[in-house]
Structure 1
Amino acid sequence: MLRLSRTSTIVLGIIVAAILAFMYLPLLLVVLNSFNSARIASWPVAGFSLEWWHKAFESQPVREALLNSLLVAAGATAIALLLGTLVAFALQRYRFFGQRAVNLLVVLPIALPGIITGVALSNTYNQILEPAGIQVGFAGMIVAHGTFCIVMVFNNVLARLRRLNPSIEEASRDLGATPWQTFRMVTFPQFRSSFIAGGILAFALSFDEVYVTIFTAPPGVDTLPLWIMNEMTRPDEANVVMVVATVVILTSFIPVWASQRLGRDAADRD
């Protein structure tokens, strides 16, 4: 085991602390300004007030944007859970021509810049589907989010499937269980934590997506990130924006934390 000197430990600790401060102090400033009694975001905070939180929760556009974000994230997560799990099983349990290509194509959307995915899907919807009489509307935005959320479930489930002991499933079948019974009572419980963790990450990724949403959202439909972007040009709404941004931060932080806990629990059971 590598041991560091006391000086090296202190230097590395200072570097890590500086990096974490650079990453998270701006987020802390956003949270603090959501409670700022002043009308304009500032530092230091003028005073404590819940006025902007009341205005945010009473705002009809904010409530509609929140509902849209939740619906899109839930729909994209459902698509990711289904397709991501099926592809993971196909690539882990079977051997077929083009297997590596399929693996690459599933992972590629998360590596592509969001603006590229958004432009491509927008062109498909507007120049191919709509002229053919297919109006994708709100569902098109959900499908668009699902394309890059699949990889979250796929990676988690595939990694877990690779660690499963196939002899347990074979024993279940030898004892007379049907394939569905074996999956429900033996296979699924073994990768359930990874399945849920992937779904949580997919939800968080969809909830705060901006670029793909810009190009695929129907006219007049805002999600929370879009609402924030549009309202940033209005200084008198700055602290309400900070409130919504704080909600997005918490909504993103909690799923990531829960996913890590589930991942650790699964590793401990191995």
Structure 2
Amino acid sequence: MHSERASLSLRLAAWGGLLFLHFPILIILLYAFNTEDSAFSFPPRGFTLKWFAVAFSRPDVLEAIKLSLQVACLATLIALVLGTLASAALYKRNFFGKESISLMLILPIALPGIITGLALLSAFKSLGIEPGIFSIVVGHATFCVVIVYNNVIARLRRTSQSLIEASMDLGADGWQTFRYIILPNLGSALLAGGMLAFALSFDEIIVTTFTAGHERTLPIWLLNQLSRPRDVPVTNVVAMLVMLVTMLPILGAYYLTRGGEGVAGSGK
């Protein structure tokens, strides 16, 4: 009789793969609480929360966190609007060039980040736009749109057309149908797409490097800290913060969209 449970060797291999992938992250988490300020003192000498207080008392850390949050929120807002509009325009009707438009929407996240960054830098220079917060937000929005678009168009394709037709037959106009029928069905898809876009924008570094100019987001701050070994404990604390800020939205989006039709289907 065939068993649906995986064999012991397969389960051990799976756990071994997870340990291999997450071991470096566990090291960073461990050293964020180390009492020693040495980067290579192993095993850790003790447990302390001192470096958290040091990290959050530094103005450069707080400014980098503030800038990253500001950029991520603006990029997510732009992505929600443009991604929803694009998915609404493409999910139902067929027309000439539809596949090409879909490919162009998905292309920014499929291309290597260095290509996207170079292209954006060249475009901004040709338009006379100086690198700054505006260029960072635009750069992040180019790939965040894809995340929202994929989530929303998948939900629209599962939405029952009979609900929309019934709304129109009962006298609702386009806005009322969107507000009371389509938008409630898109709620969790928009939330999941927004959370994923926020997480992707918050820890983006490659595109940001080309578009930031003199601005320093949190990932760029971390990159600059690699040349300062005396600040390793503070760097570990900030790295743990970045991991938590990006991990929690991803987990939330996963729980919002899991379960197939039960969650991502035609129901609210």
Equivalent-residue separation in structure 1 for 2:91 and 2:44 (angstroms): 54
2:254 paired residue number: 260
Residue 137 of structure 1 is aligned with which of 132, 137, 140? 132
Letter in 1 for 2:241: V
Deviations 1:177-229 (A, max 9, x none): 1111111111111121111100100000000001000000021x111110000
Residue 199 of structure 1 is aligned with which of 171, 186, 194? 194
Secondary structure of the equivalent of 2:158?
coil
In structure 1, list runs of 5 or more residues that go unmatched: none
Letter in 1 for 2:240: T
* Runs of 4+ in structure 1 over 6 Å off: none
Equivalent-residue separation in structure 2 for 1:38 and 1:119 (angstroms): 41
Q: CA deviation at 1:241?
A: 0.3
In structure 2, list runs of 5 or more residues that go unmatched: none
1:159 paired residue number: 154
Equivalent-residue separation in structure 2 for 1:70 and 1:259 (angstroms): 18
Would you say the 8 A contact 2:131–2:211 is kept in 1? no
Secondary structure of the equivalent of 1:93?
coil
Letter in 2 for 1:222: R
2:66 paired residue number: 67
1:78 paired residue number: 77
Q: CA deviation at 1:265?
A: 6.1
Equivalent-residue separation in structure 2 for 1:81 and 1:187 (angstroms): 15
Letter in 1 for 2:174: P
Q: CA deviation at 1:23?
A: 1.0
Would you say the 8 A contact 1:194–1:266 is kept in 2? no
2:17 paired residue number: 19
The percentage of aligned residue pairs carrying the same residue is 45
2:39 paired residue number: 41
Would you say the 8 A contact 1:204–1:255 is kept in 2? yes
Secondary structure of the equivalent of 2:38?
coil
Secondary structure of the equivalent of 1:162?
helix
1:88-237 equivalences in 2 (<5 Å): 88-126=87-125, 128-130=126-128, 134-135=129-130, 137-219=132-214, 221-237=215-231
Secondary structure of the equivalent of 2:56?
helix
Equivalent-residue separation in structure 2 for 1:90 and 1:136 (angstroms): 32
Q: CA RMSD in A?
A: 1.6
Letter in 1 for 2:216: D
Letter in 1 for 2:245: T
Q: CA deviation at 1:100?
A: 0.1
1:30 paired residue number: 28
Residues 229 and 222 of structure 1, relative CA distance in 2, 3 Å threshold? same
1:57 paired residue number: 56
Matched residue count = 263
Deviations 1:111-140 (A, max 9, x none): 1111111111111112x111xxx4463111
Would you say the 8 A contact 2:131–2:212 is kept in 1? no
- Relative to the length of structure 1, the TM-score reads 0.93
Equivalent-residue separation in structure 2 for 1:98 and 1:123 (angstroms): 27
Residues 267 and 253 of structure 1, relative CA distance in 2, 3 Å threshold? farther
Letter in 2 for 1:25: F
Does residue 1:3 correspond to 2:6, yes or no? no
Q: CA deviation at 1:12?
A: 0.7
Does residue 1:251 correspond to 2:249, yes or no? no
Q: CA deviation at 1:41?
A: 2.8
